[in-house]
Amino acid sequence: MTTHARTKQHFQQPSEHNHSECVSEALGTAEHLCIERGVQLTPIRHKVLELIWESHKAVKAYELLDSLKPQQQAAKPATIYRALDFLIEQGLIHRVESLNAFIGCRCSGHQHEQLLLICKHCHEVEERPASGVMSALSQEFRQAGFTVHSKAIEIHGICAKCRDLPDDQQ
């Protein structure tokens, strides 16, 4: 089997969108929302949000701590968790329960229901509104007389980009 260098390079960069646009949009929205709401996007909260937005992969709290340590010697797990709680409250990130990790959200700036498609290969998480699924579920809940506090569906599998990888890279 031959390996084409060009092809390999291509697959090492699966994200074919301009991610710096995602980052600047997400951070801009966060700054704007916090001013509007009169809440403080402190340097540590800002930094944590920026780190989460480094990619579309779900990030664990200890990974955030590791990234912060070189600049902020005083950063402790509690510091990170407080920043994460704030960002969740403001609807700027989501907790991916099944991974115990976090992803950025820029769809609304408030807490909302989500369908999360989690790729087990590249660990990227795609968020989709899936309004049809959500309203079908709401009907189930009504029939069950069940009061829902939060609605998030997490699905694990292989994303479209990884599905198209050659077998030996999957």
Binding site for Zn ion (CB under 5 A): 19, 22, 105, 107, 119, 121-122, 159, 162
Residue 31 or 164 with smaller CB distance to Zn ion: 164
Provide, rounded to whole angstroms, the least separation between the CB of residue 165 and Zn ion. 8
Kind of pairing between the strands at 152-157 and 114-119: parallel
Residue 45 or 56 with smaller CB distance to Zn ion: 56
Provide, rounded to whole angstroms, the least separation between the CB of residue 78 and Zn ion. 25
Provide, rounded to whole angstroms, the least separation between the CB of residue 115 and Zn ion. 10
Number of H helices, E strands in the chain: 7, 5
- Region of residue 13 (left: phi > 0; alpha: psi -120 to 50; beta: else): beta
Calpha distance 145→160 (Å, rounded)? 37
Residue 39 or 107 with smaller CB distance to Zn ion: 107
DSSP state, 167? G
